[in-house]
Amino acid sequence: MESADEREDWADRHVARWRDHWIDVDFEDDVEAIVVRISRLVQHFRGATQKALAEVGLQDFEYKTLHHLMIRDTPGHASPSALAADLGISGAGMTGRLDALEKAGWIQRRAHADDRRRVEIEVTRSGARIWRQAMDLRGRAEHDVVHALTSAERATLAGLLKKMTLTVEAEDD
């Protein structure tokens, strides 16, 4: 039986097709294969997320808003402006999202304890429950792909990806 290293995947075929098109440019097979495989995995995980959202009945914007609300340093609690900043959307866009989430019963707006003029957003039990259902389905898809690797391979890959991520983060600073 062939090992995964011996079998050809989509990235191998892509690299073979493109290699000869770049005579005047440095074309590194391994760089192209890595980037293409990462893109392919991202595409797969996005598809798995969309499937999970459809299964639990969430729209993408609802999931993203609940997700950003739940993964904060203050899980399930935020000001509308902080949440809008996290999501990279305008205040008006945030208001529309919050209206829809509140109507669905997934969040509630509350007056801030120290300043009643300010509003705080809080996830409800049903909002946390539907977010967790989507996360569970999404997580299973991620688990299935990542567990194609051994524990040692996962640790190595995590370290290598961290090294690449730190390079991107240094460029963003």
**In angstroms, rounded to a whole number, what is the distance separating the alpha carbons of residues 124 and 23?**
58
pLDDT at 22: 66
Question: What percent of the chain clears pLDDT 70, i.e. is strictly above it?
Answer: 95
**In angstroms, rounded to a whole number, what is the distance separating the alpha carbons of residues 147 and 141?**
10
**In angstroms, rounded to a whole number, what is the distance separating the alpha carbons of residues 74 and 123?**
11
Per residue in 68-116, pLDDT (tens digit) is: 999 999 899 999 999 999 999 999 999 999 999 999 999 999 887 777 7
- Position 1 pLDDT exceeds 60: no
pLDDT-derived band at 18 (thresholds 50, 70, 90) equals confident
Report the chain's mean pLDDT, rounded to a whole number: 90
Give a yes or no: residue 19 inside a domain: no
- Position 152 pLDDT exceeds 90: yes
Give a yes or no: residue 121 inside a domain: yes
Render 147-167 in DSSP notation, one character per residue: TTS-HHHHHHHHHHHHHHHHH
Per residue in 36-59, pLDDT (tens digit) is: 999 999 999 999 999 999 999 999
pLDDT at 6: 79
Backbone angles phi, psi at 121, to 5 degrees: -105, 135
**In angstroms, rounded to a whole number, what is the distance separating the alpha carbons of residues 167 and 26?**
21
25-62 exposure pattern, b = at least 16 Cβ within 10 A, e = fewer: eeeeeeebeeebeeeeeeeeeeebbeebbeebebeeeb
pLDDT at 41: 94
- pTM of this prediction? 0.80
CATH number for position 166: 1.10.10.10
Give a yes or no: residue 133 inside a domain: yes
Angle between helices 60-70 and 91-104 (to 10 degrees): 90
Give a yes or no: residue 38 inside a domain: no
Domain tally for the chain? Answer: 1
Average pLDDT over residues 152-167: 94
CA angle 51, 149, 137 (to 5 degrees): 20
Give a yes or no: residue 163 inside a domain: yes
Find the domain containing 125 and state its range.
Answer: 58-172
Give a yes or no: residue 159 inside a domain: yes
Give a yes or no: residue 2 inside a domain: no
Give a yes or no: residue 28 inside a domain: no
- Position 154 pLDDT exceeds 70: yes
Contact (CB, 8 A) for 62 and 103: no
